[in-house]
Amino acid sequence: MESPQPFRILTVCTGNICRSPVAERLLQAGLNHASPGSFEVRSAGTRAMVGEPIQPLSAKMISTFRGSPDNFAARQLNQKILRETDLVLAMTSRHRGEVLQLDASLLKRTFTIREFARMLAVLEARGDVVPEGDIVEFWRALPARAASVRHLALAADPADNDVVDPYRRAEEVYHQMEDELAPAILGILRFARLTAPA
């Protein structure tokens, strides 16, 4: 019997060498652990440094959290990539806007990663975490469910939706990126574990 197509997540930043690869590789590692074979995570950049590897400090971060930074090449975001995606997790509100300029039909499937994690926390608090049957089908319906509680998960400051860009900046900015990104990734992975089959 053919296995169902995995739930496809796309992480998006600017150059596709600092933020979105960290989100891609750490989400993939954690989701593989929660439900092997159910998720596929990729990334792209709105102005990608095509073909470039992950920046060294971002690669170190991925390795520290037990992901793999290997065999990566930055790629440019385009409509074909978006057509093959179930959920887009952007690093900033601006990136979210750029995704929607390319494909407005993704409105209810495109969020900033920090915003999406807050929405999942709202759903979890409501007890809305029990998949009815297949986990992939549950996640396919999840973006619309998350969008329906957006008003309950608003950031106190719009900047709290964004992950800082550390490219060509001091190491402290990479630590700031980690501080902003890690809780969102952990929140998404926690929700995935709650929805995984026992």
What is the block-wise mean pLDDT of the chain (198 residues), using blocks of 10 residues? 78 97 98 94 97 96 94 97 97 97 95 97 86 83 93 89 92 94 96 84
DSSP single-letter state for residue 42: E
d(C-alpha 42, C-alpha 28), whole Å: 8
pLDDT (0 to 100) of residue 60: 95
Render 152-175 in DSSP notation, one character per residue: GS--SSGGGG-----TTS-HHHHH
d(C-alpha 107, C-alpha 85), whole Å: 13
pLDDT (0 to 100) of residue 2: 45
CB 16 within 8 A of CB 73: no
pLDDT (0 to 100) of residue 1: 38
